[in-house]
Amino acid sequence: QKMTVKAVKMPCTTPNVYTKVPDGGWGWTIAFAFFFVEALTYGIIKSFGVFFNDLMESFDETNSRISWIISICVFVQTFTAPLSTVLSNRFGHRFVVMAGGVLISTGMVTASFARSVVDMYVTIGVISGLGYCLSFLPTVTILSQYFDKRRSLVTAVASTGECFAVFSFAPAITALKEQIGWRYSLLSVGVLQLSIVVCGSLLRPIIIKEQEEVKAKPPEEPTETKYMLENEQTRTSIESIDSGVEITTSPSNVPGNTKAEPKSEEPKEHTQILVETNSPPPEPKTKLLDFSVMRDYSFICYAFFGLFATLGFFAPSLYIIPLSRSLGIGKDHSAYILSAMAIAEVFGRISAGWVLNKKPIRKIYIELICVVLLSVALFAFPFASEFWGLMTCSIFFGFMLGTVAGTHIPLLAEDDVVGIAKMSSAAGVYVFIQSLAGLAGPPLAGVLVDTTQNYSSAFYSCAAGMVLGAVFLSLVRPCKAGLCHCRQQRAEESAAEVVSDLPDDFIEMDIGKAENSGKGCDSV
């Protein structure tokens, strides 16, 4: 069946209507926009360290108090993820991302006029943090809707925007500070982030609608044919749930109303309407936030994986330079170690997307292998005693971090977790749960370092969290398989109860009647 796009009168506001998941088309523009959204959100957050010394000198504050600016920002970004989901479902992804770009730019520009670190907490921490949430999550969600077979590869490649941003923004901002000072440099960053509004304007929503082949009902159509058609429509509705995006073949098969029974009990008049009319389906009633994912044991396990794995994401980037300095390695060489980690992360993201794009493959198991290897990398850091040892560990960690960081959110769209239909709500809840570890992780590692006077303890604690995350990730697939088995068993039990409700002599009575009528005919 040829894929077509319906003509629209207002391309800037109306959705793209496809006959199936395009795996391209306008999705390439969405991927382009996501690349720059990644660069202007996470790329700026990771590059913000270039302002630390200037802020400490200007506000006469300690490194710890300045570090809380980014900690609050990241916490607000992840904690408000459910709000991002609600607003996206209510007003659309485009409007929410554009509003997020305005908030990010407003927070950064206002921060350039701050007179105390508390002002920074409010402007960058709260205002920009909320903007980061509204910009990132809706973009990655709608990108997943435009791709099916290529979803993992495209998302992984587009997410490298943050890695390239770290390379380019850090030296560029440093050079800019020497010319115009840190305040005007921060102002320039805020103006640059306003381009997220342009990226948001490119996020056209997508609707999947199958073309109807039958337009009129033949007058002599028998009743059996009607029921066969109805059952065929029902099977199509059931199969469309697994495809990731709603496929409309009848008025009852719209988002928010995708339930179908194997044996339809609707009246004949409904079937006749399906055949005789070609009216458009009614508007779907979309839930603002679908909490039914919390009843899915596979999602609960995956959420705990995200909670504990987040503890292991931050340690090397925060403590690799202090660890290398404690081993007698110079500042320049320590910076090389961090740069090598970022380069390896780019290759890790692309490699993970390429591997997960292969068919057939159980993506959740590939993710589990990557998480286990990431745990090994964290355990290896404390055993490194010189420059090349740390360099090897950093490259290995960066590569494995890229494989996990670029795929753990898109994997929510896989049927082993929740599927594409519930990804928007699941992503909001998932990132919200991650925020708890993001807020508690750095202080926990700091307490361990202060207590033991050894930076290796931070890596051990993060490795332990990653191992726990691997344990919960290994339970996702068994929980999903067990849940499907339980649903099938309940359906079989219900069918058995219906049969058991019939009288025991029901068949015998019919047989007896048939025998009596036979005897009557013989006597005649």
- What is the model's pLDDT at position 265? 44
**Lowest-confidence pick of 10-19, 319-328, 505-514:** 505-514
* pLDDT tens-digit map of 123-139: 999 999 999 999 988 88
How far apart CA 69 and CA 76 sit, in angstroms, is 11
pLDDT at 512 over 90: no
* pLDDT tens-digit map of 181-239: 999 999 999 999 999 999 999 888 877 776 554 444 555 555 555 445 445 444 444 34
* CB of 240 closer than 8 Å to CB of 246: yes
| Global pTM value | 0.62
Helix (H) or strand (E) holding 206: strand 206-208
356, 359, 365, 370 alpha-carbon torsion, rounded to 10°: -30
Nearest residue to 137 (alpha-carbon basis) of 78, 193, 69, 202? 78
- What is the model's pLDDT at position 255? 43
Side chain identity, residue 73: C
Give me the mean pLDDT over the 155-180 stretch: 83
Give me the mean pLDDT over the 424-447 stretch: 76
How far apart CA 112 and CA 115 sit, in angstroms, is 9
How far apart CA 498 and CA 521 sit, in angstroms, is 35
* CB of 222 closer than 8 Å to CB of 32: no
- β-sheet bridge partners, residue 254: 257
- What is the model's pLDDT at position 374? 92
Q: What is the largest CA-CA distance in the chain?
A: 117
Helix/strand/coil percentages in the chain, nearest 5: 75, 0, 25
Q: How confident is the model at residue 472 (pLDDT cuts 50, 70, 90)?
A: very high
Share of the chain above pLDDT 70, in %: 70
Nearest residue to 82 (alpha-carbon basis) of 518, 424, 391? 424
- For the chain, the first-to-last Cα distance in angstroms comes to 62
pLDDT at 322 over 60: yes
Give me the mean pLDDT over the 367-381 stretch: 91
* pLDDT tens-digit map of 449-465: 778 888 888 888 889 98
pLDDT at 311 over 60: yes
Strands in 136-178 per DSSP E = none
How far apart CA 400 and CA 121 sit, in angstroms, is 32
Question: Taking the domain 289-498, which CATH number applies?
Answer: 1.20.1250.20
* CB of 37 closer than 8 Å to CB of 199: yes
Query: How many CA atoms lie less than 13 Å away from 11 in the CB half-sphere?
Result: 5
- What is the model's pLDDT at position 504? 54
Q: Would you state the structure tokens that stand for residue 61, as one six-digit string?
A: 């504050």
* CB of 17 closer than 8 Å to CB of 207: yes
- What is the model's pLDDT at position 436? 78
Q: Could you give phi then psi for residue 288, rounded to 5 degrees?
A: -65, -40
Q: Would you state the structure tokens that stand for residue 290, as one six-digit string?
A: 């679908």
Calculate the average pLDDT of the chain: 75
Domains of the chain, residue spans: 12-210, 289-498
Give me the mean pLDDT over the 393-414 stretch: 84
At 314, is the secondary structure helix, strand, or coil? coil
Q: How confident is the model at residue 258 (pLDDT cuts 50, 70, 90)?
A: very low
Strands in 349-442 per DSSP E = none
Q: Could you give phi then psi for residue 480, rounded to 5 degrees?
A: -65, -45
**Lowest-confidence pick of 10-24, 60-74, 388-402, 502-516:** 502-516
Between the alpha carbon of residue 352 and those of residues 344, 371, 393, the distances in Å are 12, 12, 19
User: Quick check: do 12-210 and 289-498 share a fold?
Assistant: yes
Question: Taking the domain 12-210, which CATH number applies?
Answer: 1.20.1250.20
* CB of 473 closer than 8 Å to CB of 304: no
**Lowest-confidence pick of 26-40, 51-65, 431-445:** 431-445
Burial class (CB in 10 A: 0-12, 13-18, 19+), 30: buried
Share of the chain above pLDDT 90, in %: 17
- What is the model's pLDDT at position 495? 59
Nearest residue to 100 (alpha-carbon basis) of 137, 73, 48? 137
Q: Which residue has the higher pLDDT, 86 or 14?
A: 86
Packing angle between helix 161-180 and helix 27-47, nearest 10 degrees? 50
- What is the model's pLDDT at position 8? 42
pLDDT at 167 over 50: yes
Query: How many CA atoms lie less than 13 Å away from 162 in the CB half-sphere?
Result: 19
Burial class (CB in 10 A: 0-12, 13-18, 19+), 375: buried
pLDDT at 263 over 60: no
